[in-house]
Amino acid sequence: MDNTKYSLTDMERISQIHRPLNILMLSWEYPPHVVGGLSRHVYGLSVHLAELGHEVHVVSLLRNDLPSYEKINDVHIHRVKPLNEQDEDFLSWIGGLNLAMAYKVAKLADEYSFSMIHAHDWLVGTAAIALKDSLSIPLLATIHATEYGRNNGIYTEMQKFIHSKEQQLVSAAHQVIVCSEYMVEEVTSIFDAAAEKLAIIPNGVDLLTNSEESVDFPHNLQDKKYIFSMGRMVKEKGFETIIEAAAIAKELKLEYTFVIAGKGPMLDTYRKLIQEKHLEDKITFIGFISEQERNTFIQNCEMVVVPSLYEPFGIVALESMVLGKPTIVSKTGGLKGIVKHLQTGLLMTPGDAKSLLEQILFIYKNPKKAAEMAKEGQLVMKSLYSWKRVAMETSRLIEDLLLIQLVDETEC
């Protein structure tokens, strides 16, 4: 039996926990500034937390002509520039961004009483840890991916630095969110973190409807059947596997072409590679596309491929499945927890072009089965991965975290 004694003030504070909260989020990217999947995650979560009645403030990076403050979908967005905005050293630049964020929140704290801090990845960890102490409020951290996982180890000085920053954030946070069972195993094995400190809340996906926006397809795609893929142009996304598979498909005279969307440091490398392999007629890299363009490309494709070598979760797979498309994903990371082979989609061996081609040929030869898998996948996405559900789970986690902090303070 719990014999903890609460004063009237304590009871008032407990009742406040279950009322709308004032949530502070830190994220280095937020739409329309998009680098990777983190931006869409923070947007989806913040908007749906606001729909639940919470007051949500997101502090992010100020880019281009964006305003320093605006309120969109009931989310307060505060944007700051790094103090050393022109610094070409990325790690120093990130340090300047964290200083600017901490300074901005310190000023906001004069106007708002924040209930807690939610930090997204190591890029904002320094500011989050400092604000946790200065504001005396709980810190919740979401680890979207790890430097160790992206590189299959830690080798360079930059990787060591990032790894240490991730460790600091994990250690300082009162609670850590990860997106899959796979990430629980990864975070507990490479960091000093107990499994009890981690909570699994998956990424979400918008329950999209057909887009009415017309999209100008590249000339070489007119009247062609294509396979779609999308992601940041980095090695761990596995696009080399598609290039290898396209070469085999060309030899087999398979009628499909491949369309790959996204931006990143390896985009020019990939474009040169398809020229060297004379695959211009089989692969088209279309660069960055908007959400509406993405939806249209998915809706008009034959299937979607997510060939990642490392993927903590895999939001592109959700976006494909929620639109009812046959989906092939690598049997790795969080992806293998999303897709059930031959039930909601197909699994391929990571980095294996022949395995990818086998799955493509299965869909090609079995259109009825492919349609059944796509339909089942769509039903699963809508029931398990809606942003509303993700926001509700996050809200409950935050309330539990605040209650635990109150009990700890009372016992002290």
Q: How far apart are CA 84 and CA 100, in angstroms?
A: 9
pLDDT at 83: 92
pLDDT at position 36: 79
Residue 221 has pLDDT above 90, yes or no: no
pLDDT digits (tens, 9 = 90+) for 268-301: 999 999 999 999 999 999 998 988 889 889 999 9
The structure tokens 């629980």 sit at: 184
pLDDT of residue 411: 57
Q: Look at residue 7 and tell me whether its pLDDT is greater than 80.
A: no
Report which of 221, 260, 257 is spatially closest to residue 237, judged by C-alpha positions. 260
Domains defined along the chain, listed by start: 8-204+387-411 (3.40.50.2000), 219-384 (3.40.50.2000)
Indicate if the pLDDT at residue 170 is higher than 90: yes
- The position carrying tokens 């964006």 is 66
- DSSP code per residue over 40-70: HHHHHHHHHHHHTT-EEEEEEE--TT--SEE
**Pairing verdict, β 327-330 and 226-230:** unpaired
By DSSP bridging, strand 69-72 and strand 75-80 are: antiparallel
- What pLDDT score does 135 carry? 96
pLDDT at 11: 45
Whole-model pTM above 0.85? no
Give the mean pLDDT of 135-143.
Answer: 96
* Burial of 53: CB neighbours in 10 Å, binned 0-12, 13-18, 19+: exposed
Rounded Cα distance, 150 and 153, in Å: 8
How distant is the alpha carbon of residue 230 from its chain centre? 13
Higher confidence at residue 310 or residue 57? 57
- Beta strand 22-26 with 175-178: parallel, antiparallel or unpaired? unpaired
pLDDT of 212 over the 70 cut = no
